[in-house]
Amino acid sequence: MKTYVPKDFYHRIYEVVIQIPEGRVTSYGAIAKYLGAKGSARTVGYALTISKKENIPAHRVVNRNGMLSGKHHFGSPDIMQRLLESEGITVKNDQVMNFKNLFWDPSHFLDLSH
């Protein structure tokens, strides 16, 4: 059975992602948690997969370990890495180097009343 996800939830995801500063990254799970949907990291990933028309910096969202787990959704496997590197982020073996220092937690930087 397919779960229905309201489109407004996707727009809330996009509102968070567009606020990730250049040169920083966050995780699918951190976005889900901030939006009060802990455990919905895959839904965040799906929303970003279909966001291509929205001009959303989805390349700044990685998995909880800093891995470029969504790279295959960018058309070419190296586009996500190139976009991150153009912002000064070092990526080796599909993983963001210095991930903990570059991690941007929406719960710490955005108003929780979303």
What SS3 string covers 46-101?
HHHHCCHHHCCCHHHEECCCCECCCHHHHCCCCHHHHHHHHCCCCEECCEECCHHH
Residue 19 belongs to a domain:
yes
Round to the nearest angstrom and report the end-to-end CA distance of the chain: 29
Residue 2 belongs to a domain:
no
Structurally, the chain folds into a number of domains equal to 1
Q: How confident is the model at residue 47 (pLDDT cuts 50, 70, 90)?
A: very high
Q: How confident is the model at residue 59 (pLDDT cuts 50, 70, 90)?
A: very high
Residue 82 belongs to a domain:
yes
Residue 110 belongs to a domain:
no
Q: 61: domain range?
A: 7-101
Residue 48 has pLDDT above 80, yes or no: yes
Residue 52 belongs to a domain:
yes
- What's the CATH code of the domain at 57? 1.10.10.10
